[in-house]
Chain A
C-alpha cells in the first residue's frame, strides 16, 4: 500500500506539548539553545534528536543516557509519562493523549485529532495512513496490526472507541 518510512521519525509529547523530535538512526543531539559559533554537536549511536522544549531537555537527556537502544529509549520515555506520535503531527493544540491498555500493559496511545498511524517498529511513508478522526501509535508490536486495522476501518472517533473496546482493550479517558 505504501512504502515504509525510513528512518522512522517521531515526536515525544507530554502534557499536550512536543518535547523532542527523534529519528531512529545514528545522528546528532540538538538543543533548543541556539548553537554558538563553532559548536560541534554531539553524535549518538542510535538516535538523531532535536529538542522542542527547553524545560525537559535535562530530564530527557538523562533518559537517553540510560537507554541501550532506540526501542529501549522509547520504552523509558513512555515509562516517564511521555507519549510517542508520528513526526507528521501538528502539536500546536494537541489534545491529551489517551493511553490504550491491554490489562495493565500500555499497548498504545490515541489522540482525538486527525493524524498518522504509526508503531514503534514500523512507520508508513510520511504522507500515508493519515486518518481524519484520530491519531494512534501502537507501542506493543503484538497489538499494532489490530490497532492499525481499527483506525483504518473506522470513520469516527466513537466508532473507533467502540472497536477498541471490542478488542478487549481499555482506552483511558481524555
Chain B
C-alpha cells in the first residue's frame, strides 16, 4: 500500500462551512480541515495503542467498505434517491467516526479514507447542490484545455483553481502529457522482405560528364551493386537520390530508414521531396506484382500525398513501418509479412487470406495494399479459397478429421463437405482507394504524435454523442429506413480517421456497407464538417485531392471496347509492368478482364454475407 504520508492535505470545500448535520458531529469537526499529516499526528496515540501486541494493526471493518459502497450508490442514483442516500451516508460516517473516537477499535489506516469521504459528503450537503463543482471530476480531457498546454500562463489556473493546493502539481495535471515525438519504438527486428525484390529501374543512360566532374559520386550511380555511404548520398541532388533509390536492392534502400543524416538531407530538399524519398524506403513491391512498374508508380503517387509532414515521415521510419503491394493474383497471406493470418478468420467471418488490405498494426507494422486497387484492375479469380462458413464449422471438421490440404499446404476443408464454401476476394468500387485507407491507419498508429491522437479521439468521442442524423464521412448513422446503424466511419476511432482521411483526399467514393447510404467525399466536406480533423489532415496530406484513383470504371470501358487484337493478327508486344500516369494505367498493360462474381453469378458480398451468422 502506498504511504498516506505522500498525500497532501485533504480537500477543503470551497464553501468552507458544512451543513448542520455535519457540524453537529464532534468527530468530524475535529478532523475536518486537517491535512493528512496533521490528522496522522493527532492519531499518533491511537496508532501506538493499535500497534500494541494483541491489538492488531489492521482490524477488519466491514462498515468501512459500506461507506464507499453507499457513496458509489449515491453517485449512481437518480436525483430523487440522492438526498436519502446522502443522509444515510452522512449518518454512517458519523457513526464510524464516533466509534473511532470512543472505543478506538478502528484500523488507523482507514481514518484518512473516511475523512476523504466525509469531505465529499460535506461538499454535497453544503448548499444542497451537486458535488460536481467540488469533486475531482473533470470534463473529458481535451488536449488544448489541459493545464500543461496552458503552461505559458505561469500565474494562471493552478493558483486560482479550487483545491489546487491540496494536490501536488504533478498529480493534479491531467494524464495527457506533452506530445511525444515518436511512439515507443518496437524493439524487435524488422520484418523480412517478402519475395525477392529486384530494383525497379535501370539506368539507361550514363551520368553526364559535367555532373560527374561536379560530383564524382555521381559516377557510381550506374552500378546498381555499388552501395553509397550516407556521406556520399547527401552530396546528391534530388533526382540523383531518386535514381539511387530506384536502382538499388531493396535491402540497401531500407537500411536508410535509420540514416538520420540522409533523412535530414532529404528533408532539406522540401516536403514533397522528403515524401518521395520516404515512400521509396517504406514501399515493398514484390517481383510477383503483375504490373510492377504501374503499381509502384501509383502507390508512390498515393502514399507520397499522405506524407507531407516531416514528423510523420520520421515517426514512420523510426517505427519501421512497411507497405507491401499484394499482387492481384496472390493472397495477402502468401507473403511473409502477413502469413501469420493464413487460415484464420476476420471478426466478421471472412478468411483473412482473401482480404485485400491491412494497416495500422502496431505489433507487425506492415501495411498491405492491393495491386488491383492501385491499377483499377479486377482481382484475379485465382484469389479465392475454399473455407468454412464459420469458425465453428472449421473446428467441427477438424475434430472429425474431414479436412484436406489446401492451396497453401495447410489444413483446409474437404471438397464437398458440409459447412464449406468458396470465398472470393472483395473488390472496391471505382474511385475508392484502399491504399489511402490502409495507409491512414498506419499514419494514425505509427506516425502521428500524442497530441494529434488525443484530438482525433476527443473528436470521435464527441461525435459519438451526437444524434444519429449527424453526418460522418460515411453519412449518418442511419439505414435508409432511418433506423440506427453504425456506419464504417463511425465504427471505431481508427475507421473514423481513415475514412475521413479518404474523404479529405477525395477517395471516399461509394456507399457505406452498413447503412447503404452514400459516403461523403471531398476536402470541402471535411473542412466544413470535421474542421479539427481537417487541420491534422491538412498537415499530413498534399495540397490537393487525389484524382483518378482505382479507375475500375475507366478500365472496364477500355476492356469492353473492341480490341485491336480482334481485327489484327495477334502480337504479344505489350510490355509487362508499363508505367501509369495519374492513376490511369496504360491500356497496353491492362490485363484481361476477369469475372468478379463467384460461381452462380451472385455478387461477391452476397456469397459471403452470411458467413458466421449465428
A43, closest chain B residue (CB): B613
Tell me the A18-43 residues at the B interface (CB within 8 Å).
20-21, 27-43
Contact indicator B7/A93 (Cβ below 8 Å): no
Contact indicator B137/A152 (Cβ below 8 Å): yes
Contacts of B163 in A (CB 8 A): 155
Contacts of A6 in B (CB 8 A): none
Contacts of B64 in A (CB 8 A): 166-167
Chain B nearest Cβ from A146, distance in angstroms: 4
Given the known interface contacts A92-B450, A129-B75, A155-B136, the answer about A37 and B605 at a Cβ–Cβ threshold of 8 Å is: yes
Among B65, B135, B360, point to the contact of A152 (Cβ < 8 A): B135
Contact indicator A156/B352 (Cβ below 8 Å): no
A72 at the A/B interface (Cβ < 8 Å)? no
Contact indicator B69/A157 (Cβ below 8 Å): no
Contacts of B513 in A (CB 8 A): 35-41
Contact indicator B347/A1 (Cβ below 8 Å): no
Among A9, A36, A148, point to the contact of B426 (Cβ < 8 A): A36
A140 at the A/B interface (Cβ < 8 Å)? no
Contacts of B65 in A (CB 8 A): 146, 167-168
In the bound complex, what is the Cα–Cα distance between A45 and B348 (angstroms)? 14
Interface residues on B, range: 35 or more
A52 at the A/B interface (Cβ < 8 Å)? yes
Contacts of A163 in B (CB 8 A): 68, 113, 116
Chain B nearest Cβ from A101, distance in angstroms: 14
Tell me the B476-526 residues at the A interface (CB within 8 Å).
485-486, 488, 491-495, 510, 513-514
Given the known interface contacts A146-B69, A155-B167, the answer about A37 and B428 at a Cβ–Cβ threshold of 8 Å is: yes
Contact indicator B428/A33 (Cβ below 8 Å): no
Given the known interface contacts A1-B130, A33-B357, the answer about A38 and B604 at a Cβ–Cβ threshold of 8 Å is: yes
Contact indicator A53/B349 (Cβ below 8 Å): no
B163, closest chain A residue (CB): A155
B60, closest chain A residue (CB): A168
In the bound complex, what is the Cα–Cα distance between A32 and B65 (angstroms)? 43
B232 at the A/B interface (Cβ < 8 Å)? no
Contact indicator A33/B137 (Cβ below 8 Å): no
Chain B CB within 10 Å, residue with most, of A20, A58, A153: A153
Given the known interface contacts A92-B454, A131-B138, A148-B76, the answer about A37 and B348 at a Cβ–Cβ threshold of 8 Å is: no
Tell me the A140-159 residues at the B interface (CB within 8 Å).
144-150, 152-159
Contacts of B352 in A (CB 8 A): 33, 54, 57-58
Among A17, A32, A129, A159, point to the contact of B116 (Cβ < 8 A): A159
A-B contact count (CB 8 A): 302
Given the known interface contacts A163-B116, A168-B60, the answer about A58 and B606 at a Cβ–Cβ threshold of 8 Å is: no
Chain B nearest Cβ from A128, distance in angstroms: 8
Contact indicator B136/A42 (Cβ below 8 Å): no
Tell me the A36-88 residues at the B interface (CB within 8 Å).
36-45, 48-55, 57-58, 60-62, 65, 87-88
Which residues of B are at the interface with A, using a C-beta cutoff of 8 A?
1-4, 6-7, 11, 60, 64-65, 67-79, 82, 107, 109-110, 112-113, 116-117, 120, 130, 132, 135-141, 163, 166-168, 171-172, 174-176, 180, 183, 340-341, 344-350, 352, 355-358, 360-364, 390-392, 425-429, 434, 437-438, 441, 450, 453-454, 457-458, 461, 464-465, 485-486, 488, 491-495, 510, 513-514, 603-606, 608-614
| CB pairs A–B below 8 angstroms (22 shown) | A17-B363, A29-B612, A32-B347, A33-B346, A36-B604, A36-B605, A37-B510, A40-B610, A42-B613, A51-B492, A58-B391, A65-B612, A114-B174, A129-B75, A130-B139, A145-B70, A149-B72, A154-B116, A156-B167, A156-B168, A165-B1, A165-B109
Nearest 8 CB-CB pairings of A with B: A36-B426, A38-B605, A145-B72, A40-B609, A149-B71, A148-B72, A31-B346, A149-B68
